[in-house]
Amino acid sequence: MTDNSMQGAAMEFVGAVRESTEYCEYVMQLKKIKMQPELYLKVNEFRRKNFMFQNEEEAEDLLERMEELDKEYESLREIPLVSDFLAAETSFCRMMQEATELIVKELDFQ
């Protein structure tokens, strides 16, 4: 960014994000789960696979494969530390998506 006013506005936005409940909860849950490195590795494996499925171009049998992934990691997701982390991550991601959608809408970016 070359425009100082844009950089300042972006930093204000970052500050607001850092102060949000969603971000603070995500950071807290991330710190907790990182205290158990083996569990954190398993969660990251689940997140990576989930991300890959959701971003595949071919939707053929996607629902079936997502259900298989859910079954494969069901016991992991039942661990309170894991479910709390994933819920916090989802909440933070939704907040960021909503902010991005608002920016795009208000700028009439097509």
Q: pLDDT band for 108, please (50, 70, 90 cuts).
A: confident
Structure confidence by residue, pLDDT tens digits, 37-72: 999 999 999 999 988 888 877 767 878 888 899 999
Quick one: DSSP state of residue 55?
A: T
Mean pLDDT, rounded, of the chain: 92
Closest C-alpha among 72, 65, 84 to residue 45: 72
Per DSSP, the chain holds a count of helices (H) and strands (E) of 6, 0
Give me the percent of the chain exceeding a pLDDT of 70.
Answer: 97
Give me the percent of the chain exceeding a pLDDT of 90.
Answer: 75
**Higher pLDDT pick, 55 / 31:** 31
Q: Please give the average per-residue pLDDT across 68-80, as a whole number.
A: 94
Residue 92 tokens read as 């933070």
Q: What is the pLDDT of residue 2?
A: 62
Q: Please give the average per-residue pLDDT across 72-94, as a whole number.
A: 97
Q: What is the pLDDT of residue 76?
A: 96
Q: In angstroms, rounded to a whole number, what is the distance separating the alpha carbons of residues 79 and 42?
A: 12
For residue 104, pLDDT over 90 is answered with yes
